[in-house]
Structure 1
Amino acid sequence: MNLADAIEHTLLKANASSSDIEQLCQEAIDHKFAGVCIPPFHVNTAKYFLANFEQRPKIVTVIGFPMGYSTISAKVEEAKRATAEGADEVDMVVNLAAVMDGEWSYVQNDIDSVTRAVHLHGSTLKVILETSLLDNIQMQRLCDICMEIGVDYVKTSTGFQGGASPEVVRQLKGFLKGSAVKIKASGGIKTPEQAQQLIQAGASRLGTSSGLELTQAAKK
């Protein structure tokens, strides 16, 4: 896989401005990245900026970010607004508080409700698991729920609580065996070697704020 084809060029800083987002989008076009991952507030900005490009990166945004413990209704409304404004893909943080309490019916309802809202608009849903905070049983249960519901991707982490590793990606790949659910690795991806290892382990997408550095280093 060409490295650029997997990269979601990411800018999720609280102080990201419209001009920052436009620059991010232009860099994604120039380097043929798979997508740009941006705050919900800037989805309209990206849609407007990218409107005249025939081949453009996917517009990706986040909801329930970064903690995941928003109410289900709040996440659903976030998802509806994001997709209505032009988000091609939505990355939702799972409700970790509910996971830790073993409230699996709530967790399933949370994921299912947002999946339905996103798929209704023809958009893609990724569920952020925050793997560094989970044990193997919890990861397996979450993967089972995601497969049953039919989410499009599971994502390793927000980047706020640890990052991605080839070992975790391989583990998720094993839990998802036989399903169509893909894996997005994110958090702490700084070198081409790391990126390639994650892809070889089974990741289809890479979320990183270091996309330019990765592609430039890979060409050397």
Structure 2
Amino acid sequence: MPSPSAAEIAGIIDHTLLKPEATRAEVDALVAEAVELGTYSVCVSPSMLPVRVPEGSDLRVAVVCGFPSGKHTTRVKAVEAAEALTYGADEIDMVIDVGAAREGRYDDVRADIAGVRAAAPAPVVLKVIIESAALDEEQIVGACRAAEQAGADFVKTSTGFHPAGGATVQAVRLMRRTVPSLGVKASGGVRTLEQARAMVAAGATRLGVSGSRALLAGAEQAPTGY
């Protein structure tokens, strides 16, 4: 199977701006760039809503929830997700309680995700960030299965803010094998076209990228925190 073209890669990118210091002007620029590049969506922080998407564009808006620690209560995450929808979000990228997964409390992980799913019902797309670099293989499998049981649409590798690191081909491959019916989003450290293609080959169906222009041009990106 041939490697996806740059245009095909663009079509599965969530063009991302999650820096704490981000401004509304920078989000507007992000949207304009996303439309120019042909990315699937933009991914922003809740306080950046509503996002001004050009009329006639099919660009989606993804918003993070419980970000980046995942240590918010389920009720807080649910309220955050519900509010994001009222301001025009199409997709929610929530962070699990990573410590619960590390302790093997997968029922708690499932309940947390289910709470957000109830607040953001289908057809809203729910992606579940498991922070794969902070988990061992057994914990990755447990977290992915909890997401599937709770009705999530995607499992996602990383916030991009954890010191343990971001996406790896090995984690994406394991996630794809564990929940073949769900989408898999690789995010955190995907900075080159070669890396993006490797993630897709491993099973990723969506990519979280902050430096999309450089990636699609085949240029090396400097680390940006996502």
Tell me if TM exceeds 0.5.
Answer: yes
- The one-letter code matched in structure 1 to 2:43 is C
SS at match of 2:186: strand
- The one-letter code matched in structure 1 to 2:82 is K
Equivalent residue, structure 2, for 1:27: 33
Equivalent residue, structure 1, for 2:203: 202
- The one-letter code matched in structure 2 to 1:147 is E
Farther off after superposition, 93-102 or 74-83: 93-102
- Could you list the runs of 4 or more consecutive aligned residues of structure 1 that deviate by over 4 angstroms after TM superposition? none
Q: Which has the higher helix share?
A: 1
User: Which ranges in structure 2 are unaligned for 5 or more consecutive residues?
Assistant: 220-226
SS at match of 1:119: coil
Q: Distance in 1 between matches of 2:167 and 2:106?
A: 24
Q: Distance in 2 between matches of 1:184 and 1:104?
A: 20
Equivalent residue, structure 1, for 2:94: 92
Equivalent residue, structure 2, for 1:74: 76
Q: Distance in 1 between matches of 2:11 and 2:45?
A: 21
- The one-letter code matched in structure 2 to 1:203 is A
User: Which ranges in structure 1 are unaligned for 5 or more consecutive residues?
Assistant: none
Equivalent residue, structure 2, for 1:171: 174
Deviation at 1:55, TM superposition (A): 2.3
Q: Distance in 2 between matches of 1:34 and 1:105?
A: 32
SS at match of 1:36: strand
- The one-letter code matched in structure 1 to 2:95 is V
Length, aligned pairs only: 211
**TM-score, L = length of structure 2:** 0.89
SS at match of 1:185: strand
| Contact kept? 2:106, 2:146, Cα under 8 Å | no
Q: Deviations over 1:46-90 (max 9, x none)?
A: 1xx21x421231101101100001011100000100111111001
Equivalent residue, structure 1, for 2:125: 124
Equivalent residue, structure 2, for 1:187: 188
Task: Please tell me whether residue 156 in structure 1 is matched to residue 157 in structure 2.
Answer: yes
